[in-house]
Amino acid sequence: MRASIRFALLLAVLALTAASAPAADAIFNPGVLHQVRIVMDPADWRALIDNFRSNDYYAANISLDGTVVQQVGVRSRGKGSRSDTKPGVKVDFNKYVAAQTFHGLKSVQVKNLIQDATMVRERLSMAVFEAMGVAAPAVSYAQVFVNDEYWGVFNLVESVEEPFLQARFGQSNGQLFKYEYQDAWDFSSKGTDPNAYVPIPLKPETNKDNPTTAALVDFVQKANNAADSSFVGDISAYVDPRQILTYVAVENAIVENDGFVGYAGMNNFFVYQLAGGTKFTFIPWDQNTTFVSADWPLFQRTDTNVLIRRLLADPTLKQFYVDAIKKAVASFVNTSWLGPQLDADYNLIRNAALTDPKKPFSNDEFESSINGLRGVIAGRAPDVQAQAP
C-alpha cells in the first residue's frame, strides 16, 4: 500500500480508536447504526471508483465500530447496483493476510442502497425469511467513511459463505452455488452436460476449482422429466418441497419482483447442496426490490418456473403454499410485527440518510418512499385474505 502523510495519520487514528471486540454478530445488530471507517491510499480509492465494474481488490485498513482490522481487501460489488458515485464494496478480511477473520467472518458485504429509496427493504425482507424458517443473511445499517469522508448510509450484509453455512446448517463442506442471472432461466433442462449449468448460471462459491455437479444436473433433469404421478416423491430426493415453497411463499408475501419467480426469470439466490447427499436448499439474496405493491396475486408467475409449477400441481403442496403465504402475512408482514420494525429502522437511519451526500434520490423521495412502504405493509394481509379467505 502506498504511503502518504495523511494516510499514515489516518492509520494512527484508527489504531487509537480500536476498542474491545464486540460479540461475534454485533455488526449485524439492526438496532445500532454502525460505523465503518475505511482507510486506503486515496489513489486506490479513486481507481476503485474509476474501475467500479472491475472486481480488482485494493489493500485497506478498516474499523468496524472501533475494532480495527488491518490489510483487508476491498473491491467494488453488486450487479445492477454497481456505482461510481456511491460504490458498494466487499470487504475480504483474508485477502492479503492468510486466515484473517473478523469475529469468525471471512468477509462482509457493504451494500450501497442506491436501488431502494427507503433504504430498509432488504433488512425487513430478510427478517421475514428468518421468521418463516428460511435461513437468510443478517443485515444491519452503517454510516460509511472512506479516508474520513462521509459516503452515506449502507447495509452491512452477512456474506453467504462457509461461516454462514456452518452457523445455519451445522456444516460448510457441501457445494454452494450463487445464481448468476442468465437469459431468464426458468429451471428448464439445459441437457446433461454440467458445463451448461456451471459456472453460469450457477457459480461455485465453495470447492471452486472442482465443484460437485452430478447431483445438480440430476436435480434439474428430475425436475423436468420425472413422471407427473411420481414427481413429488422423485424430486424430494433433491429438495424439500416445503422448503422451496415456503421460500417462494415468503417472496410472494413480501412482494419480491425479482426473485425466484421474478419478472425476468429466476434471480437473487444461492443454492446449497448439503454435504453427504443430494439435497439442495435455497438461500435468499439481494432482497431490495420487495414490497412493490399491497396487491399481488398469490400465484404471481409461479407458472413460469418449471420446478414451482410442477410442485404446485400437487393439491396438497398447493394448499401448503397458500397457507404459507397466509401465515407470513398474518404473523409477520403486517402493521403489528413488521410495522414497528420499519419505524425503528427509519428512526435509526433517518438523520444519517437525510445527510447522505451520495444517495441518488432526494430527501423528499426518501420520506415519501417510507410512507409508501408503510401502506404496502398495511395492505398486504387484507389482500391475501381477500384472495384466500
Q: At 266, list the grid cell.
A: 429466476
Confidence of residue 12 (pLDDT cuts 50, 70, 90): very low
In angstroms, the CA 61 to CA 18 distance is 12
Residue 24 vs residue 374, higher pLDDT: 374
Q: Which residue has the cell 422423485?
A: 234
Q: At 168, list the grid cell.
A: 445455519
* Percent of the chain whose predicted confidence (pLDDT) is above 90: 92
The yes-or-no verdict on residue 17 having pLDDT over 50 is: no
Q: At 280, list the grid cell.
A: 439442495
In angstroms, the CA 371 to CA 4 distance is 46
Confidence of residue 140 (pLDDT cuts 50, 70, 90): very high
What are the DSSP E strand ranges found in 65-187?
67-76, 89-92, 107-111, 139-146, 149-158, 175-179
Burial of 230 (0-12, 13-18, 19+ CB in 10 A): exposed
Nearest to 38 by CA among 8, 18, 68: 68
Q: At 31, list the grid cell.
A: 438496532
In angstroms, the CA 162 to CA 166 distance is 6
3-state secondary structure 273-307: ECCCCCCEEEEECCCCCCCCCCCCCCCCCHHHCHH
Hey, is 334 helix, strand or coil?
coil
Residues in the chain: 389
Confidence of residue 11 (pLDDT cuts 50, 70, 90): very low
Q: Span 163-185, mean pLDDT?
A: 94
Q: Identify the pLDDT of residue 10.
A: 40
Confidence of residue 182 (pLDDT cuts 50, 70, 90): confident
Which tens digits make up the pLDDT trace of 329-365? 999 999 999 999 999 999 999 999 999 999 999 999 9
Which tens digits make up the pLDDT trace of 357-388? 999 999 999 999 999 999 999 999 999 999 99
H/E stretch holding 5 reads helix 5-17
In angstroms, the CA 168 to CA 387 distance is 34
Which tens digits make up the pLDDT trace of 213-258? 999 999 999 999 999 999 999 999 999 999 999 999 999 999 999 9
Q: Identify the pLDDT of residue 25.
A: 77
Q: What angle do CA 162, 237, 194 make, to 5 degrees?
A: 65
The yes-or-no verdict on residue 19 having pLDDT over 90 is: no
Q: What angle do CA 73, 75, 166 make, to 5 degrees?
A: 65
Residue 61 vs residue 182, higher pLDDT: 61
One-letter amino acid at 7 equals: F
Average pLDDT, the chain: 93
Nearest to 162 by CA among 180, 176, 145: 176
The yes-or-no verdict on residue 92 having pLDDT over 80 is: yes
- Are the beta carbons of 296 and 255 closer than 8 angstroms? yes
Nearest to 142 by CA among 27, 288, 18: 27
The yes-or-no verdict on residue 72 having pLDDT over 70 is: yes
